[in-house]
Copies of this chain bind each other. A is one copy, B any other.
Amino acid sequence: VTNKPNKRKIINDPVYGFININNDLVFDLIEHPWFQRLRRIRQLGLTYLVYPGSTHTRFQHALGAAFLMGQAINVIRSKGHEITEAEAEAVTIAILLHDVGHGPFSHALEYSLIEDHTHENLSELIMDELNKLFKGRLTLAIDIFKNRYQKKFLHQLVSGQLDMDRLDYLKRDSFFTGVTEGSVGSDRIIKMLSVANDNLVLEAKGIYSIEQFLIARRLMYWQVYLHKTVLSAETLLVNSLKRAKKMALEGQELFATPALHFFLTRKFLKGDLSPSNPELRAQILKNFVMLDDTDIIASTKVWEMHSDKVLSLLCKNMNDRILYKIEMQNSAFSKERMDELKNKCKTKLGLTANEVDYFVFSDTIINHTYVPSDNRISILFKNGTIADISEASDILDISVLSKVVKKYFLCYPREIK
């Protein structure tokens, strides 16, 4: 992306050193308030309660992914595959904005605040609105993002098994958590990228890097993303917001920033973001772009003093890091165990049968590291043949890696063990 820009920016990034912004449109998008908002949304939500260093934001990640995209473009071009200036700009914008629809603490928001809407829906909404503001200059970026553009490999650079999103977040999350062995060789993998039959492929000598990438990702999943204590903290937050939303919908008085208040006092339905509801859509957008981590934390701190015992305790526990005790296993927890814990908890904390479900509950999490069916890692051999990593690797048993792992977890207050 090297047109002659009027605006130049060099951003100091602890992971890559310096990130150059050489493109006017990219520059203007970064300056836009809706992108600046990502400075106030942590990449890993409450993970900093376990890994104190992981306070990095989605803003950094988006810039980092755009930086890697610039490297990938150079590598692919150097191997004789055309990427026009317009395509380079567009694919850079697509990766820059791929997470722009993330709300604070994404899971909590998606499941408790805006029911039935994912951050992908919201990213698309915001990208469409930005496209209007920028007079259609984002159309190609959006086409690539939505996989409607004919050169499929450009979309795969944005969203695929080896996209710049994953390469950046694995490297960045490893850096900020201090889980150094979760780092991936993003440089080496990018050097091996190529294009064949319009698909993103990896040259065969990169197979070992891919194996390491898959296992490092698996490590990061269990060591960080699905860490028991992180899960426990996030569950506290989800339950706090569930309780608050229930109370708000019942008409109870509740302190909240205006943006959060909007989402607490409305039930959302699938069609709410559809163009056929332009007013509601506009209202949701207006409130959504005002919402970030600080609204949630600032409000939950106030709720610590609310008269509702459940809400105040959940919030206090989260903010003071008095997390649930959490157990994890491969099979469901027995009803007997659950009932026993609930009874203890009701007595200990003086709760009703309905209330206790906020404190003693079980749920499941799943992790799949690699799913070859929907989205392959294609390996390009010197003789020009292409194979999926599951066939190309003479040793890695991908069927094992792609197996969905489902774990059951059980949460209850520390004091009732």
Binding site for B on A (CB under 8 A): 10-15, 17-18, 31, 33, 36, 39-40, 42, 48-49, 51-53, 55-57, 59-60, 63, 175-185, 187-188, 191, 208-209, 211-213, 215-216, 218-219, 222-223, 255, 257-259, 290, 292-295, 297-299, 301-302, 305, 319-321, 330, 394-397, 400-401, 403, 405
Contact = CB atoms under 8 A, between A and B. Distances in A.
B13 A178 contact: yes
A17 B216 CA distance: 18
B179 A181 contact: no
B212 A181 contact: yes
A400 B405 contact: no
Contact of A319 (B33, B178, B259): B33
B53 A182 contact: no
Contacts of A255: 257-258
Nearest to A34: B320
A223 B259 CA distance: 36
Contacts of A395: 218, 400-401, 403, 405
Nearest to A367: B395
20 contacts: A11-B52, A12-B51, A13-B52, A14-B175, A14-B178, A17-B180, A18-B188, A33-B320, A55-B56, A179-B185, A180-B185, A181-B185, A182-B212, A208-B218, A209-B219, A215-B215, A255-B257, A292-B297, A298-B298, A395-B400
B56 A49 contact: no
Given A14-B175, A208-B218, A294-B297, 4 more contacts: A55-B55, A209-B219, A295-B298, A396-B400
Nearest to A401: B395
Contacts of A298: 257, 294-295, 297-299
Contacts of A17: 178, 180, 187
Q: Is the interface of A mostly helix, strand, loop or mixed?
A: helix
Given A60-B53, A208-B219, A219-B208, A12 B185 contact: no
Contacts of A18: 187-188, 191
Contacts of A42: 55
Contacts of A59: 52
A371 to B, nearest CB: 14
Contacts of A175: 14
B188 A181 contact: yes
Nearest to A17: B187
A258 B299 CA distance: 10
B53 A53 contact: no
A187 B20 CA distance: 12
Central interface residue in A17, A49, A60, A218, by most chain B CB within 10 Å? A17
A394 B52 contact: no
A332 B374 CA distance: 36
A358 to B, nearest CB: 20
A219 B60 CA distance: 24
Contacts of A305: 258
Contacts of A60: 52-53
Given A12-B179, A218-B211, A49 B39 contact: yes
Instruction: Give me the 9 closest cross-chain CB pairs, A-B, nearest first.
Output: A181-B185, A298-B298, A14-B178, A294-B294, A215-B215, A14-B53, A33-B320, A294-B298, A294-B297
Contacts of A299: 257, 298
A178 B208 contact: no
Contacts of A320: 33, 36
A368 to B, nearest CB: 10
A338 to B, nearest CB: 21
B55 A191 contact: no
Central interface residue in A31, A212, A213, A321, by most chain B CB within 10 Å? A212
B290 A301 contact: yes
A292 B10 CA distance: 31
Nearest to A295: B298
